[in-house]
Amino acid sequence: MSLLSLTPEQREIQRTAREFAERELAPHVAQWDRDAHFEPTIVARLAELGFLGMLLPEAHDGLALETSTYLVALEEIAVVDASTAVLMSVHNSLPTQMLLRYGSDAQRARFLAPMARGELLGAFALSEPEAGSDAASLRCQAERDGDDWILSGTKAWVSHGTHAGVILAMARTDHTDARRGAKGISTFIVTPDLPGFSVGKKEDKMGLRASPTVQLTFDQMRVPGDRLVGEEGKGFTYALASLDHGRLGIAAQAIGIARAAYEAAARYATERKQFGKAIGDFQAIQFKLADMATRITAARTLLHAAAAAKDRGERVTRYASMAKLFATETAMWVTTNAVQVFGGYGYVTDYPVERFFRDAKVTEIYEGTSEIQRIVIGRDVLADPSP
Ligand code: CAA
């Protein structure tokens, strides 16, 4: 049951995503999580379903769907496997959207169709070991050398950077501007065949363990001049504008995780008996389930309103941050309370709620922490207080 009124096309995509997730992901997720195993064959399967070009025009082999339809699919995948969901979200929201919006005709022609077909998995490299929330303090350098650029530095927290075929990387091109900050950052299309590119440390994470998160090192990496995206010095604004889109995807992922935990808790409440009756007969448990369902419904409603505004061509920075903030805090709250409903059984690996709890946490951290979302919303409401 959902308050959203879905079109027939959205129902069809939802069904496809659900069937794929239940048939091809569900049997393996617990093992992949235990082994921190990324299953590379998933990329080709997602591509076959069109799920790696959901927002791209048909001319680039995409499905040309509305943002809300993409988010419906993403939620279904996240219900079963949050690691696959983050791959879908990053690929569809960040590198493909950046290229579509800011890339040259030649860059779009070369990269977008192979990305939609799953031949090139897209990644996004903004953060660095010393530049997280303060992304504009990044230090990766790009120096001109004839027609080429030489990139040097280390990018951090790159989702599926191990398997990426194309990485949209932000580097500092203006070295004369001593002002620490956003001006003078440019975006480059990096491919792993470039000399000087290497994949570094793989993080050993609490959750999303089937999604490999790595550092990337650029050691005097020679990048052809035609890999600069858009205008020199505009890369930081491109990254932030793309994150408006990315944050909608992470909100959908968080709603999926929350839904998985809520559905598991609701089922368990009817099965588990204590004091001679099902624990769901106790108001303490009913109230938790009621609050879970209410928060998930509110998060989804906000998210899809933001997506509709995005598809109308409006700037949704404030609403993308609100949706991400509310959905991810909902996911953490719901998964925490789902563990509580399960009691001791929620704390062990016999049931999946402990995984939902671990997976939920990072949604409050990546693509901007909850604190950063509040900064973005706060600045925006000071400029225009209308809610
Ligand atoms: N769209 C377009 N332009 C934007 C924008 C947006 N949403 N937000 C800001 N800008 C522009 C500003 O107008 C400004 O341009 P001018 O200088 O021309 O005026 C420029 O970008 C810089 O903006 P700020 O002055 O606001 O920059 P700031 O240094 O104060 O930082 C911030 C703002 C919101 C704190 C930002 O640094 C931020 O969002 N930090 C969080 C970083 C983040 O989300 N990282 C995600 C990593 S990727 C990831 O996690 C992916 C994954 O693998 C899951």
Mean pLDDT by 10 residues, the chain (387 residues): 89 98 98 98 98 98 98 98 98 98 98 98 98 96 97 98 98 75 91 98 98 98 98 97 98 98 98 98 98 98 98 97 98 98 98 98 98 98 90
Fold of 237-383: Butyryl-CoA Dehydrogenase, subunit A; domain 3 (1.20.140)
pLDDT in tens, 165-183: 999 999 999 877 555 568 8
| Whether residue 184 has its Cβ less than 6 Å from ligand 1 | no
Residue owning tokens 């016999």: 350
| Domain topology for 122-235 | Butyryl-CoA Dehydrogenase, subunit A; domain 2 (2.40.110)
Classify domain 8-116 at the CATH topology level: Butyryl-Coa Dehydrogenase, subunit A; domain 1 (1.10.540)
Residue 177: the pLDDT is: 59
Cβ-contact 360, 335 below 8 angstroms: yes
* Substitution site in 84, 216, 237 for ligand 1 pocket (most atoms within 8 Å of beta carbon): 237
> Amino acid letter at 103?
G
Residue 175 has a pLDDT of 78
Give residue-wise pLDDT tens across range 237-269: 999 999 999 999 999 999 999 999 999 999 999
CB of 306 sitting under 6 A from ligand 1: no
Q: Is the CB of 328 under 6 A from ligand 1?
A: no
The answer to whether the CB of 290 falls within 8 A of the CB of 265 is no
What atom of ligand 1 comes closest to residue 366's alpha carbon? 50
Confirm or reject: Cβ of 236 under 6 Å from ligand 1.
yes
H helices within 156-280, ranges in order? Answer: 235-271
Note the pTM of the prediction, 2 decimals.
Answer: 0.97
Number of neighbours of residue 69 by Cβ within 10 angstroms = 23
232: helix, strand or coil: coil
Q: Do 109 and 49 meet the contact criterion of CB atoms below 8 Å apart?
A: no
Angle subtended by helix axes 317-342 and 370-383, to nearest 10: 140
Question: DSSP class of residue 186?
Answer: E
- Exposure string of 325-346, with b = 16+ CB inside 10 Å and e = fewer, is bbbbbbbbbbbbbbbebbeeeb
In Å, how far from its chain's centre is CA 264?
Answer: 23
Task: Map out the domains of the chain as residue ranges.
Answer: 8-116, 122-235, 237-383
Nearest residue (by CA) to ligand 1, atom 29, is 136
Which residues are CB-neighbours of 349 under 8 A, at least 6 positions away? 30, 34, 355
Catalytic residues: 367
